[in-house]
């Protein structure tokens, strides 16, 4: 009967929530070593609820196991027994067994629970090896009102199911006198009274919850995505519209953004729900491996999209197992190395640059690069010639190759060479990346970079030929524009590859046109052919440019490329045109193009046309990209010449009148186009709300003797990198960005907040230091005088 299936599905879902709560309580007990009586009561209520509904649904194995667990918990909460480590282990084992049975609840009655039930009964009888001091007798405390209806309540609405009902045993009456228990060596702390401070802090209030089906949330998310597309279409026609239409569109934009963010939060879950499963796994591995390992988590409250959260479980399992097995040494080896006998594995999560970062860190022996080289040669994963040209970081990254393992033997923990490859492949599937650092003798850190969500993502829209593409900003580091002769002289050749000297590194270049034109992955011959063709084309451009310049009719050239990151690899993607940033809705790809590795999805742009979403990892693999610089380029020309000229990456802008200013691109986190009507004033200070944060508005004229802005309707907001507090610089017009030869003059124009001046694009340019300017405008607010 359909009603039976609905009730069973609801029961399973409700029981899983109770199991999550049980695991959280045990995790707290393991971390703090503190067992409060309130925690025992919560465990009892959760198990009691699972047991009661199991009886109605004929789930005998679940009912039998939960009855034994409930009886033991009842003895603990009534003070007849004091908790011990064997009790804690048995209850956690019961929780794991229940979780396994709920994975296939229809076959749960086939599971043999008799052995564990016997152990629980023995423990409840007082056959406890080691107990702690007697727990205080439970004081009468009011049971919390159950706001959520249980499955048993739902069953009462269906008289036809009465045949399945079973009489539920009443809870045991409180014992008038606790049974005395021996108290030798403490194995776990006794329950203590909870003063209810948390409840008092919340003023006795509770949050209300409503259970919603996931497919309904997915549908809601899809509709929000469609609304974003409509909003984007409206914004495209904003400039041609009258003031009334602009006002309506701006309101639509604001409401759409808030609605989208709210719906996104319904899918967000704390990463602690995944982290919590690893404490027990590390304890079991410690016993199995004969090691002593302390395990810590940080940032449990950081939230991720539900789909990403589900996908990172397996990669994190591999990484934590590797840290315990390969990373942390045996106690005797650690003592010999001058370390504590207890190793440490830390799992942490935090927000940074619009992404979630998850670090898995151990203080073990680290990775030996020579061992990695030898293993790669033995397994034929790389040739001697390839390894000889690799940087130290490239050598470390070899552990991410399929089939790589440094284990000397295969065990049930590791050694088959699939772990790190599974991690890399799994994380990259949803737009994340993996990087690795290690210091021999000190430990290793694996860093995962994950997108906040997979549904609606900020992207850069670019063009190659007649087609437009979207590049997720999670993969984008910066944009570089080369003009005139720089467009064909700054691209160099390194063997069979084109490279660009970006500050202190050689950046491998990828031409999107060439990548799209070739079906097969690039090999050395293809790369040589492409490099030679483009080298000849650059020579022709240089000759034409020289002839035109000598003839008094200079030709203007430009070349744009985006600096992308794929894991630890960075490369430049040469494109024809940059259209700007846009929030895009990710659509599944048609099966005809799904197998093409260059794309990770598709989207509909504001004008209704389809654009493919580029996959940075797929592009790098297809183009056979590898790090040609090995980190810092030791052969690079000096950054500063004898006459003081240096190459700088600058963003040029004006602020009213004809004055030209510049800031270092390295100091700018992002640039936002804003409407001046959105700026609010509090006293003498101005603010604008960005990403839900009130952000201080700073103007050049607030700190420098320069012309004031004409205050147009639309301006640009430069948000600095690594600022102590949220602020940004408001400017009127963006002029250009790129690499310029700068000969800094500190004598002509001197002022606080100014580095000096330079002649850039044949115009005197004032170079602004954003942090010094902020100190000058309001040093007390920003954190003291500079």
Answer yes or no: is 208 within a domain.
Answer: no
Answer yes or no: is 635 within a domain.
Answer: no
CA dist list (Å): 137 to 39, 141, 184, 198:
14, 12, 19, 22
How does DSSP assign 320-365, residue by residue?
A: HHHIIIIISPPHHHHHHTTS-SSEEEEEEEEEETTEEEEEEEE-S-
| pLDDT score, position 510 | 93
Give the mean model confidence (pLDDT) for residues 202-210: 51
Nearest alpha carbon to residue 731 among 761, 693, 773, 692: 773
Residue 168 clears pLDDT 80, i.e. is over it: no
Q: Are residues 262 and 274 in the same domain?
A: no
pLDDT class of 166 with cuts at 50, 70, 90: very low
| pLDDT score, position 513 | 93
Q: Are residues 526 and 581 in the same domain?
A: yes
Answer yes or no: is 627 within a domain.
Answer: no
Q: Are residues 414 and 498 in the same domain?
A: no
Tell me how far apart the 2 most distant CA atoms of the chain are, in Å: 108
Q: Are residues 245 and 275 in the same domain?
A: no
Cβ–Cβ < 8 Å for 315, 423? yes
Distance CA 350, CA 302 (A): 6
Q: Are residues 145 and 244 in the same domain?
A: no
Please report, to the nearest 10 degrees, the dihedral formed by the alpha carbons of residues 773, 776, 782, 785 taken in order: 130
**pLDDT, tens digit (0-9, with 9 covering 90-100), for 463-491:** 999 999 999 887 888 888 888 888 888 88
Answer yes or no: is 108 within a domain.
Answer: yes
According to DSSP, the residues that pair with 506 across neighbouring strands are 501
Distance CA 510, CA 439 (A): 32
Q: Are residues 274 and 262 in the same domain?
A: no
Average pLDDT, the chain: 78
Cβ–Cβ < 8 Å for 491, 511? no
Burial class (CB in 10 A: 0-12, 13-18, 19+), 388: exposed
Q: Are residues 246 and 333 in the same domain?
A: no
Count of residues in the chain: 786
**pLDDT, tens digit (0-9, with 9 covering 90-100), for 696-709:** 999 998 888 888 88
Show the tokens assigned to 334.
């650690």
Answer yes or no: is 592 within a domain.
Answer: yes
CATH code (residue 721) = 2.40.50.180
Comparing 589 with 174, the larger pLDDT belongs to 589
CATH code (residue 403) = 3.30.565.10
| pLDDT score, position 697 | 93
CATH code (residue 71) = 1.20.120.160
Check the CA dihedral 514-515-516-518 and report its sign: positive
| pLDDT score, position 660 | 92
Window from 213-227, 262-276, 317-331, 729-743 with minimum mean pLDDT: 213-227
Window from 77-86, 153-162, 739-748 with minimum mean pLDDT: 153-162
**What range does the domain containing 68 cover?**
2-201
Answer yes or no: is 282 within a domain.
Answer: yes
Q: Are residues 683 and 588 in the same domain?
A: no
Q: Are residues 97 and 163 in the same domain?
A: yes
CA dist list (Å): 523 to 128, 496, 512, 621:
68, 10, 16, 11
| Rg of the chain, C-alpha, whole Å | 32
Comparing 227 with 167, the larger pLDDT belongs to 227
Give the mean model confidence (pLDDT) for residues 176-202: 43
Answer yes or no: is 132 within a domain.
Answer: yes
pLDDT class of 264 with cuts at 50, 70, 90: confident
Give the mean model confidence (pLDDT) for residues 245-251: 76
Show the tokens assigned to 695.
């952000």
Please identify, among 432, 451, 470, the residue that sits at the C-terminal boundary of a domain: 451
Q: Count other C-beta atoms under 10 Å from residue 580's C-beta.
A: 8
| pLDDT score, position 153 | 52
Q: Are residues 49 and 17 in the same domain?
A: yes
**pLDDT, tens digit (0-9, with 9 covering 90-100), for 568-587:** 678 999 999 988 887 787 77
Q: Are residues 462 and 437 in the same domain?
A: no
According to DSSP, the residues that pair with 584 across neighbouring strands are 457
Q: Are residues 472 and 610 in the same domain?
A: yes
Distance CA 80, CA 454 (A): 52
Nearest alpha carbon to residue 392 among 637, 572, 627: 627
Residue with tokens 């504001």: 606
Would the pTM of this model clear 0.85, i.e. be above it?
no
Answer yes or no: is 628 within a domain.
Answer: no
* Angle separating helix axes 60-77 and 114-124, nearest 10 degrees: 20
CATH code (residue 568) = 2.30.30.40
Instruction: Give the total number of structural domains in the chain.
Output: 5
DSSP 8-state assignment for residue 188:
S
Please identify, among 434, 451, 468, the residue that sits at the C-terminal boundary of a domain: 451
């Amino acid at each position: 009967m359909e009603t039976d299936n609905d009730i069973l599905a609801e029961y399973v879902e409700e029981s899983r929530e109770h199991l999550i709560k049980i695991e959280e309580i045990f995790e707290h007990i393991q971390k703090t070593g503190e067992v409060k009586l309130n925690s025992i009561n919560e465990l009892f209520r959760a198990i009691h609820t699972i047991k009661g509904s199991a009886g109605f649904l004929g789930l005998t194995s679940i009912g039998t196991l939960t009855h034994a667990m409930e009886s033991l918990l009842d003895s603990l909460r009534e003070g007849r027994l004091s908790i011990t480590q064997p009790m804690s282990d048995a209850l956690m084992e019961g929780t794991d067994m229940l979780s396994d049975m709920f994975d296939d609840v229809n076959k749960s009655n086939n599971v043999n629970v008799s052995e564990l039930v016997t152990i629980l009964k023995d423990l409840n009888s007082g056959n406890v090896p080691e107990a702690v001091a007697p727990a205080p007798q439970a004081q009468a405390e009011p049971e919390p009102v159950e706001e959520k209806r249980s499955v048993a309540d739902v069953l009462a609405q269906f008289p036809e199911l009465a045949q399945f009902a079973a009489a539920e045993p009443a809870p045991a009456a409180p014992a008038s006198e606790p049974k005395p228990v021996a108290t030798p060596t403490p194995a776990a702390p006794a329950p203590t009274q909870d003063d209810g401070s948390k409840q008092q802090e919340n003023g006795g209030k509770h949050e209300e919850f409503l259970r919603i089906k996931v497919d309904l949330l997915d549908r809601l998310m899809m509709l929000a995505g469609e609304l974003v597309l409509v909003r984007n279409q409206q914004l495209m026609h904003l400039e041609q519209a009258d003031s009334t239409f602009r006002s309506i569109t701006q309101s639509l934009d604001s409401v759409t953004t808030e609605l989208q963010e709210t719906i996104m939060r319904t899918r967000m879950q704390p990463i602690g729900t995944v982290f919590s499963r690893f404490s027990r796994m590390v304890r079991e591995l410690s016993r199995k491996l004969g090691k002593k390992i302390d395990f810590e988590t940080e940032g449990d409250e950081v939230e991720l999209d539900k789909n990403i959260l589900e996908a990172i479980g397996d990669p994190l399992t591999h990484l934590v197992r590797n840290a315990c097995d390969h990373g942390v040494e045996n106690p005797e080896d650690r003592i010999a190395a001058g370390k504590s006998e207890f190793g440490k594995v830390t799992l942490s999560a935090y927000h940074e640059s619009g992404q979630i970062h998850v670090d898995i860190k151990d203080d073990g022996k680290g990775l030996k690069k020579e061992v990695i080289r030898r293993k790669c040669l033995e397994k034929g994963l790389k040739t001697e010639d390839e390894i000889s040209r690799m940087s130290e970081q490239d050598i470390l990254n070899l552990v991410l190759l399929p089939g790589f393992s440094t284990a000397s033997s295969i065990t049930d923990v590791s050694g088959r060479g699939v772990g790190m490859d599974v991690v890399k492949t799994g994380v990259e599937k949803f737009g994340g990346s993996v990087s690795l650092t290690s210091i021999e003798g000190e430990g290793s850190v694996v860093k995962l970079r994950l997108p906040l969500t997979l549904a609606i993502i900020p992207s850069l829209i670019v063009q190659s030929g007649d087609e437009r593409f979207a590049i997720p900003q999670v993969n984008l580091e910066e944009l570089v524009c080369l003009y005139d002769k720089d467009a064909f002289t700054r691209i160099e050749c390194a063997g069979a590859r084109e490279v660009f000297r970006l500050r202190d590194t050689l950046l491998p270049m990828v031409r999107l046109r060439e990548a799209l034109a070739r079906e097969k992955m690039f090999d050395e011959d293809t790369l040589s052919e492409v490099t030679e063709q483009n080298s000849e084309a650059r020579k022709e451009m240089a000759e034409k440019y020289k002839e035109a310049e000598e003839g008094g009719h200079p030709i203007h050239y430009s070349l744009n490329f985006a600096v992308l990151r794929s894991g630890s690899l960075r490369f430049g993607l040469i494109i024809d045109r940059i259209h700007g940033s846009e929030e895009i809705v990710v659509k599944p790809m048609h099966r005809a193009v799904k197998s093409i590795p260059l794309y990770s999805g598709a989207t509909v742009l504001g004008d209704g046309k389809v654009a493919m979403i580029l996959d940075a990892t797929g592009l790098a693999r297809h183009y056979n990209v590898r790090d040609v610089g090995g980190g810092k380029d030791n052969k690079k020309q000096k950054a500063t010449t004898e006459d003081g000229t240096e190459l700088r990456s600058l963003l040029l802008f004006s602020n009213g009148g004809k004055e030209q200013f510049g800031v270092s691109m390295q100091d700018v986190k992002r640039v936002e186009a804003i409407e001046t009507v959105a700026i609010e004033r509090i006293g003498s200070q101005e603010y604008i709300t960005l990403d839900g944060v009130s952000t201080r508005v700073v103007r050049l004229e607030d700190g420098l003797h320069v012309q004031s802005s004409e205050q147009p309707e639309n301006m640009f907001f430069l948000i600095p990198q690594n600022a102590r507090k949220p602020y940004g610089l408001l400017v009127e017009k963006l002029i250009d960005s790129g690499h310029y030869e700068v000969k800094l003059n500190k004598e002509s124009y001197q002022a606080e907040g100014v580095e000096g001046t330079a002649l850039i694009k044949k115009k005197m340019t004032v170079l602004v230091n954003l942090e010094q300017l902020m100190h000058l405008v309001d040093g007390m607010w920003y954190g003291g005088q500079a």
